[in-house]
Amino acid sequence: MMAASSDDEIVLSYIRDPDEHVAAMREAGRRLVAHPFANAGRSAGLVLLYALAMGAIMVGLFHVLPTYVYPSVLRLPPIDSYAAAMFWLAPTLVLVLLFSLCTRLSAPQQFNALRKRIRPGVEITVTVRRDGTYWASAQTSYWFGWSEVADITLRNSRIEFTFDALITYIPAAAFADTCEQAATLQRILALWRAANPVQP
């Protein structure tokens, strides 16, 4: 709910929902990881470069290992490069598959663990002023100057503040309705832009 409001200050408060908090952190993590590849053309180019680089490395290994390393170091007879490639192909594919499966299986467990660590019923108070934003609960408080904020946007019914490596947000529960939320967002953007005339 909006506790107070003036031209220079907006004060909002809400009860943090652990499920919403985890969802917001999960979505933000995906965006932050994907950020360097936001441009589709750049992403395709980087993937192609990585594939070419890995291919060159693998070809080099399959030539160097059977030709020089196996005979001189391991005292094995010379092995054809094609045979060496086939020898390593199956274990490599199995390792890649196992790594992918482990990553996918561990992600839900990590978020469930995060969900359990978030105490329910915590009241958060957000104060937005000309010089920045202040987030406070009974246990913690954070201050962010406007120069630290990279973006402010409405996403999934939340007003999200994006920084270099994290996000914070004001949920829809802090407002009486969507009209109040939209109006508050415009006022927050005005304060941010006034402090940072040139936006990225």
How many domains would you assign to the chain?
2
Among 117, 147, 170, the domain-final residue is 117
Query: With a threshold of 0.85, does the pTM exceed it?
Result: no
Q: Is residue 113 located within the same domain as residue 171?
A: no
Residue 152 to residue 161: CA distance in whole angstroms: 5
Q: Are residues 87 and 106 in the same domain?
A: yes
Integer angstrom CA distances of residue 28 from 22, 34, 35, 47: 10, 10, 10, 23
What the block records as the tokens of 34 is 């994907």
Residue 29 resides in a domain: no
Q: Please give the structure tokens belonging to residue 114.
A: 């995060």
Query: Helix or strand or coil: residue 125?
Result: strand
Residue 26 lies in a domain: no
Q: Which two tokens stand for residue 52?
A: 């070419």
User: The domain that contains 183 carries what CATH number?
Assistant: 2.30.29.30
Q: Is residue 57 part of a domain?
A: yes
State the pLDDT at residue 3: 55
Show pLDDT as tens, one digit a residue, over the chain (200 residues).
655 566 689 999 999 988 888 888 888 877 766 655 445 555 566 666 766 676 667 666 666 666 666 667 666 666 666 666 666 666 667 777 777 777 666 666 666 776 777 888 899 999 999 999 999 998 889 999 999 999 999 999 999 999 877 889 999 999 999 999 999 999 999 999 988 766 55
Q: Residue 188's pLDDT is what?
A: 94
Q: Give me the pLDDT at residue 37, please.
A: 47
